[in-house]
Amino acid sequence: MKEITRIAHVIGSVAKGGVESVVFNYYKFIDKSKYQFDFIIHNDSPYEISSDINALGCKIFKIPSYKHLFSYLNALIEIFKKNNYKIVHSHMSTISVFTLFAAKKAKVPVRIAHCHATAGKGKGEFLRNIIKNILRIFSKLYPTHLMSCSVNSGIWMYGKKAFLKGKVTVLNNAINHENFIFNKNIRNKTRNELCVSDKFVIGNVGRFMPQKNHDFLIDIFNEIYKIDKKSVLILVGDGNLKKNIEDKIKRYNLKDNVLLMGCMDNIINLYHAMDVFVLPSLYEGLPVVLVETQMAGLPSVISDKITEEVKFSELINFVSLKKSAFEWAKIILDLKNYKKYDTTSDLNIKNYSIKNEVVKLENFYEQINL
């Protein structure tokens, strides 16, 4: 019987969403008679890895953030050597250059760079993008294999030439779609609990950071509220800019109509409670949240800076960020009377179903670890 292969997944900060939720989804469904994941996270992560992940047999290593580069590299090299990993799978996008340098120094034979991002052009992103673009030059230096969450992010990270030569494997941000099937009873119960039964509920899930463009989202909601006083905005997430957004909500006198939910382990019930999801991001890789909203039958209004690959239903509505907050508001209000129902039978979900995509990942590991 073949020995179980332990794979070190480097995911950095755990913030209850995005990259880590994708990786944990794959871990829950991977064949554990063949593969076991271990996780390397930053010791300043705002959240712990949840107990249901812990219970599956993984090891969790906490190390200094990459912002303390020498400590970060030394900690990685020590972990890689001590545990004798044959595969290191880094989800740090451009920062993977450092992660996989450490893996090479530790003589790890299989080193996977997995890109989950692209670059943005928004306020507060200029210096960040300079650093990203410098590191991107070295993206193919230390990995033995290249992976991305979408065609768009793969081309951005590794270049069109590498992509067209078939050197980049696209692994979709898949979920267990059965968990997201629309349930009217859950919708009614959740709306009652939130005291929004008779409201028009707009939702957003994302970290409070420049990329997610919460500042513009509040402008949009302010325009919606001027037209429909029975509107409510639900914001799920946390982050450095949360206080700024709270101050803006107060300036617009919207405090009673904006629900700040913080970070949540399970937001499925909130999807059912929402009427429209809004994501005016300045850039994205391929946001798993939009896979989830489509599975939940939730119409979404999103920025044109998000890759078109995310759209696998008519529930996605792209809007230019050049349009005003008022124009966004009108488009969102036009969806007010959309009747939600179980749409999964209408969707081409194959590429985003975790039960299908996890087989693709297992086959990938099998091929590179012969």
Q: Which residue has the tokens 């590299």?
A: 73
Q: What is the pLDDT of residue 354?
A: 93
* Residues in the chain, pLDDT under 70: 1, 17, 119-126, 370
Q: What is the pLDDT of residue 127?
A: 72
Q: What is the pLDDT of residue 1?
A: 56
Q: What is the pLDDT of residue 132?
A: 84
Q: Are the CB atoms for 111 and 144 separated by under 8 Å?
A: yes
Helix axes 354-368, 18-29, angle to 10 degrees: 80
Q: Which residue has the tokens 């969102």?
A: 332
Q: What is the pLDDT of residue 126?
A: 67
Q: Are the CB atoms for 281 and 302 separated by under 8 Å?
A: yes
Q: What is the pLDDT of residue 122?
A: 54
Report which secondary-structure segment, H or E, holds 302: strand 300-303
Q: Are the CB atoms for 142 and 156 separated by under 8 Å?
A: no
Cα 118 to Cα 157: distance, rounded to the nearest angstrom: 7
Domains defined for the chain, CATH in brackets: 5-174+353-368 (3.40.50.2000), 177-349 (3.40.50.2000)
Kindly report the pTM of this predicted structure. Answer: 0.87
Q: What is the pLDDT of residue 286?
A: 87
On the 0-12 / 13-18 / 19+ scale of CB atoms within 10 A, 166 is exposed
